[in-house]
Structure formats: structure tokens, C-alpha cells
Amino acid sequence: MKRVILSVAVMASLVFTSCKNETKQEKETTTTELSKEIAMADITFGVRGNCGMCKNTIEKAANGVEGVANANWDVDKKKIDVSFDEAKTDVIAIHKAIAASGYDTEKVAANDEAYKGLPGCCQYDHEMPMNQSGENKEEDHSNH
């Protein structure tokens, strides 16, 4: 009789455990579906600039666009990686915001007044190549 009670108890605890697992899995699935509904896009494009101050200004401009979740400008490669919500903004709006802050992008030239208002060290060369790949850097080294 004791054995029967014991096995019932074991079975009950097994059922309880599996129910718990199912509930957890359901929750995780729901979370995944929800995050899929927000269509995030990742883009990379060239932006001219010189230094860390430029980086702050460029990233602040990109982040100021509603729908932009993350912006990271690379001072060496003169390019920016941006994650944004496609339902809230589009690529050209991000280009325009950066250009308005005084920086050239691949698609939109910088606002002249904003450029002139930049600190002297940040007034980059408008002919500067942008969105440089790592390969260009290696070529520079081979010249030494």
C-alpha cells in the first residue's frame, strides 16, 4: 500500500513539473512573437568625421530620429551602424538628421551652417573617403 501511495506521489510530481515546463515554454514563445512584430532594420553607411567629438555629434543626431534604437559611428572606417524600427522611420530620414548636424553622409551632403559651427578640429575634409573597408587599411600598411 505504501508503494502505491509513493508511486502516485511521484507521478503527481512529474505531472506538476511537466505542466510548469509547458507554461514556461509558452511564455517564451509569446515573447519571441512579440519582438518579431517590431521590425528592426540594421543598416551601415558612410559618414565623414574626424574624432570622438564628431562621434558624439553624429550618434546624437542619429539617435534623435524617432525609431532609432542604436547608432554607432566608427572613427576609423568613417561609417555608422544604425538599428531602427522600420515602422517609425526610414533610411533617408537618418541620413538627413546626420547631415543637419553638419556631417556628410553617403546620400546627403552636410548642412553648411552646421558644418561651420563645428569645432575647428571637427571640420573634416569634404573629400575624405568614407565607409572604408578594413582592406584599405592593410594597403596603407604595405606602403611602409
Residues lying near Cu ion in the complex (CB under 5 A): 50-51, 53-54, 122
| Shortest spacing between CB 128 and Cu ion, in angstroms | 12
| Shortest spacing between CB 119 and Cu ion, in angstroms | 7
Q: Which of 58, 34, 37, 38 is nearest to 47 (CA)?
A: 58
Closer CB to Cu ion, residue 49 or residue 84?
49
| Shortest spacing between CB 108 and Cu ion, in angstroms | 19
Compute the distance between CA of residue 83 and CA of residue 62 in angstroms, rounded to an integer.
Answer: 10
Give the residue closest to Cu ion by C-beta. Answer: 122
- Mapped onto helix, strand or coil, the DSSP state of residue 98 is helix
- Are residues 50 and 121 in contact, defined by beta-carbon separation less than 8 angstroms? yes
Dihedral, 124, 129, 131, 136 alpha carbons, nearest 10: -130
| Shortest spacing between CB 83 and Cu ion, in angstroms | 23
- Mapped onto helix, strand or coil, the DSSP state of residue 130 is coil
Closer CB to Cu ion, residue 71 or residue 122?
122
Closer CB to Cu ion, residue 50 or residue 131?
50
Closer CB to Cu ion, residue 38 or residue 119?
119
